[in-house]
Structure 1
Amino acid sequence: MKKLDKKALLVYLGFIGPGLLVYLLIVAYPIIYSVLLSFSDFNPNRGGGWNFVGLLQYSTMFKDPAFWHALKNNMIVVGISVFGQIPIGFMLAYILYRRLVKSTSFFQTMVFLPNFLSTIVIGTLWKKLFSADGPASVIIQLFTGNPNAQFDAMLKPETVMFPIGFALIWIYTGFYMIIFLANLQKVNSSVIEAAKIDGATEFQIFSKIIVPVLSGTILVSTILAIAGSLRGFDLIFSITTQGLQRQNAEVLPIFMYRTAFQNYSNEMRFAYGSAISNAIVIISVSLIMFSNWVSAKVGGGEEN
């Protein structure tokens, strides 16, 4: 019996060992290293020496106006994702599921098309669209009759996130539409037909039947949106140019990148960047836990 148990243990370790090793090297080690680094004053230009400085990096971060500016922009992106992309994706999925429009396959393909393209390419295209001499400025000139009119929303700190938010909705709405459309296939069509026979309107079918059944899917989509928004880097980085425009639209991942890799010659900047990355993780986990709490309070969870 003992020999059999030993053999079973070896087989078990043989199956989980490689995966566990990869996880420890690729996931666990960088996380632990980043946490330790944030409590030091490590600087690669000083020869790699470490000195423990406690919570100095985090206190510096909380006193940094650039951190709060990037956090504010990140919360705007989270709001756009949760309250823009998900509801619009849900409505489009419902329209396709109920076949309220013709050519549903073409409509579905067109909405999902941006997900096939590189984010850097999309960001570059939107940057050209929003540039001072781009199509947006030409449209404004045609409607106003002013040949000198320009689309300057990207140049103002109070409006820079609006065109970026529009681009985010255009790109990622199709992703959530596909998620909801796939889960809508689980809805029992006979229930909808019975509701129609009883005189239910399309809005009542949507609010009383579809939304409760897909509440779990809404929660999962919310978690995906929050996680994606807080680690989003490539689109905003590519859609903004260097200088004041990028600083106005700066989010936490770009702030971390600029701090750790563009200004690393300064004292403690490399370790400071690690503190910012840890803050991104903590904020993301906190928002996800809050989403789960809200879902539990309102009776989240899909009905069978």
Structure 2
Amino acid sequence: MSELTSKKEQRVAYVVLVIPAVIIYFSVMAFPTIFSVILSLTNYNGGKIFGNPQVKFAGLASYVRIFTDPNGYFYLALKNNMYIVLMSVFGQIPLGFALAYILSRKMVRGTDFFQTMIYLPNVISPVIIGILFKSFYLNQDSVYMEIVKFFNPAAQFALNDHPMIPVLVVMLWMYTGMYVIIFLANLQRIDVAIIEAAKIDGATEAQALWYIILPALSGVIVTSAILAISGSLKSFDLLFVMTQGGPANRTSVLSLYMYMMAFRGAPNYPLANAISTVMVVISFILIGITRSVEKRFGGKE
């Protein structure tokens, strides 16, 4: 009888402890997500204030409009998001790992100083960084143009040629430090004696890296890739401050496109929510591809 009572008390304790977390999850995450999908299937555009008093089911009209937009804003925003994803996965992560490897192997002096300096951009507000680099890059009298004119007085400001390059450079500088810290923490978990034993047996530094360290960090690399993908698809604050999608929407991304549809001019909430739903689907697809690649080629931690 006492054993049954003890198990019952355990179940009650589990329920009591889990219920608050479940309520918070459904209130903050699940309900808004479901409501967003439902809203994307209606014609709701703000109610009576905006002359849309009657909410009706509109089906997939918003999704059709996204993919058949004659201006191609969705595909332009998606292309820019893919640039950011590629820069994050194949720029921030490899660079972050390389810097973390150099610091963990004590290849330079003052590792604490370099670790702090590399991570410092992560503690600065993206709004502040956006304002700073906007003044550095994005006008005729910017610091960047003054440097260019010093070497070539005839140079002209031409952001229209490659408008995403300044944004990608800033993001590379800003977020690499986070991956340095992630990789540095996990590199310190690898027993140095294993690497030294491999070197005694004749392995080079490159062989130790390829056959010991990288397989041991495969799970961390996948986690970092997932963080990079999700962060890239929801990029907003830095871009909004630096360019607001300009010039001519050439630096627009999906989150900016969604914001413009919802809060600029006459609101189109169904279209904005349809864009957010597509962003989630794209994120799941990219994460699924990342996990498949890891299962196919990755090692075991």
| Partner amino acid, structure 2, of 1:106 | F
Classify 1:168/1:281 alpha carbon distance in 2 versus 1 (closer, same or farther; 3 Å): same
Q: Distance in 1 between matches of 2:299 and 2:265?
A: 45
Equivalent position of 1:190 in the other structure: 193
Q: Quick one: which of 16, 36, 42 aligns to 1:40?
A: 42
Classify 1:7/1:109 alpha carbon distance in 2 versus 1 (closer, same or farther; 3 Å): closer
1:53, distance to aligned residue in structure 2 (A): 1.2
Q: Quick one: which of 148, 155, 173 aligns to 1:149?
A: 155
Is the 2:77–2:253 Cα contact (8 Å) retained in structure 1? Answer: yes
Is the 2:244–2:256 Cα contact (8 Å) retained in structure 1? Answer: no
Is the 1:140–1:151 Cα contact (8 Å) retained in structure 2? Answer: no
1:16, distance to aligned residue in structure 2 (A): 1.7
Q: Distance in 1 between matches of 2:203 and 2:227?
A: 33
Q: Distance in 2 between matches of 1:288 and 1:10?
A: 36
Q: Distance in 2 between matches of 1:255 and 1:300?
A: 39
Report the secondary structure of 2:171's partner residue: helix
Residue 289 of structure 1 pairs with residue 292 of structure 2: no
Equivalent position of 2:107 in the other structure: 100
Q: Quick one: which of 166, 169, 172 aligns to 2:169?
A: 166
1:246, distance to aligned residue in structure 2 (A): 6.5
Equivalent position of 1:88 in the other structure: 95
Q: Distance in 2 between matches of 1:184 and 1:50?
A: 55
Aligned residues: 293
Equivalent position of 2:83 in the other structure: 76
| Partner amino acid, structure 2, of 1:178 | I
1:300, distance to aligned residue in structure 2 (A): 4.0
1:88, distance to aligned residue in structure 2 (A): 0.2
| Partner amino acid, structure 1, of 2:188 | Q
Report the secondary structure of 1:200's partner residue: coil
Report the secondary structure of 1:115's partner residue: helix
Residue 277 of structure 1 pairs with residue 276 of structure 2: yes
Equivalent position of 2:259 in the other structure: 257
| Partner amino acid, structure 2, of 1:227 | S
| Partner amino acid, structure 2, of 1:21 | I
Equivalent position of 2:14 in the other structure: 12
Instruction: Report % sequence identity.
Output: 44
Equivalent position of 2:215 in the other structure: 212
Q: Distance in 2 between matches of 1:41 and 1:3?
A: 54
Classify 1:98/1:6 alpha carbon distance in 2 versus 1 (closer, same or farther; 3 Å): closer
Equivalent position of 1:247 in the other structure: 249
Q: Distance in 2 between matches of 1:178 and 1:165?
A: 21
Unaligned runs of 5+ in 2: none
Report the secondary structure of 1:271's partner residue: helix
Q: Distance in 2 between matches of 1:143 and 1:270?
A: 49
1:48, distance to aligned residue in structure 2 (A): 5.0
Query: Which moved further from structure 2: 95-104 or 39-48?
Result: 39-48
Is the 1:43–1:270 Cα contact (8 Å) retained in structure 2? Answer: yes
Residue 49 of structure 1 pairs with residue 51 of structure 2: no
| Partner amino acid, structure 1, of 2:30 | A
Q: Quick one: which of 22, 25, 30 aligns to 2:24?
A: 22
Is the 1:112–1:175 Cα contact (8 Å) retained in structure 2? Answer: yes
Q: Distance in 1 between matches of 2:147 and 2:61?
A: 50
Residue 139 of structure 1 pairs with residue 147 of structure 2: yes
1:47, distance to aligned residue in structure 2 (A): 5.0
Equivalent position of 1:301 in the other structure: 300
Classify 1:202/1:3 alpha carbon distance in 2 versus 1 (closer, same or farther; 3 Å): closer
Residue 114 of structure 1 pairs with residue 111 of structure 2: no
Is the 2:88–2:232 Cα contact (8 Å) retained in structure 1? Answer: yes
Report the secondary structure of 1:42's partner residue: coil
Query: Which moved further from structure 2: 293-302 or 112-121?
Result: 293-302
Report the secondary structure of 1:245's partner residue: coil
| Partner amino acid, structure 1, of 2:59 | G
Q: Distance in 1 between matches of 2:198 and 2:132?
A: 46
Is the 2:216–2:299 Cα contact (8 Å) retained in structure 1? Answer: no
Classify 1:8/1:215 alpha carbon distance in 2 versus 1 (closer, same or farther; 3 Å): closer
